[in-house]
């Protein structure tokens, strides 16, 4: 697996021992976040390679699952449909569901909507600054 990293990977021990002082600058926190995301991408790629190898071995043995020591390996299948609404209607395979966009507008207008939960999260993306000509 060849990966090109723009910055050195963050050490997991560094994460465990990290103390974020209250006066730490945004830039420093974002740098740490960037390095952590890079490390996570590398670990996820490594996990993907290992899972691919397990899938290949199960396929070679024509198995859908196997117990190995204290581990259970099973191959799952998820279907993804690109069926058009018209095709699904012709097969009588449609259903009515709540419209999230309309419910969101009602909620924003102050209407009490039952069954609503709210979660907040931070999104961080890298911004490429335009180079001055």
pLDDT tens across 31-90, in order? Answer: 988 988 999 999 999 999 999 999 999 999 999 999 998 899 999 888 888 999 999 999
pTM for this entry: 0.58
Instruction: Give the closest residue to 59 by CA, choosing from 70, 75, 44.
Output: 75
The answer to whether residue 118 sits within a structural domain is no
The answer to whether residue 70 sits within a structural domain is yes
The answer to whether residue 91 sits within a structural domain is no
The answer to whether residue 105 sits within a structural domain is no
Residues 6+ away with beta carbon under 8 Å from 88: 94
Residues 6+ away with beta carbon under 8 Å from 27: none
The answer to whether residue 116 sits within a structural domain is no
CB 59 within 8 A of CB 68: no
Structure tokens at 123: 């999104």
Residue 42 lies in domain:
12-80
Indicate the helix (H) or strand (E) that contains 66.
strand 65-68
The answer to whether residue 16 sits within a structural domain is yes
Question: Per the structure, how many domains does the chain have?
Answer: 1
The answer to whether residue 36 sits within a structural domain is yes
């Amino acid at each position: 697996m060849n990966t090109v990293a723009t910055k050195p990977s963050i050490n997991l021990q560094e994460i465990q021992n990290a103390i974020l002082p209250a006066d730490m600058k945004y830039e420093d926190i974002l740098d740490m976040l960037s390095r952590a995301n890079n490390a996570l991408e590398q670990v996820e790629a490594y996990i993907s390679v290992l899972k691919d190898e397990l899938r290949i071995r199960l396929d070679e043995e024509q198995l859908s699952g196997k117990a190995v020591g204290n581990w259970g390996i099973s191959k799952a299948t998820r279907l993804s449909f690109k069926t058009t609404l018209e095709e699904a209607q012709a097969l009588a395979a449609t259903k009515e569901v709540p419209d999230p966009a309309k419910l969101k507008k009602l909620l924003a207008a102050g209407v009490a909507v039952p069954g609503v939960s709210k979660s907040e999260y931070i999104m961080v993306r890298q911004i490429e600054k335009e180079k001055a000509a």
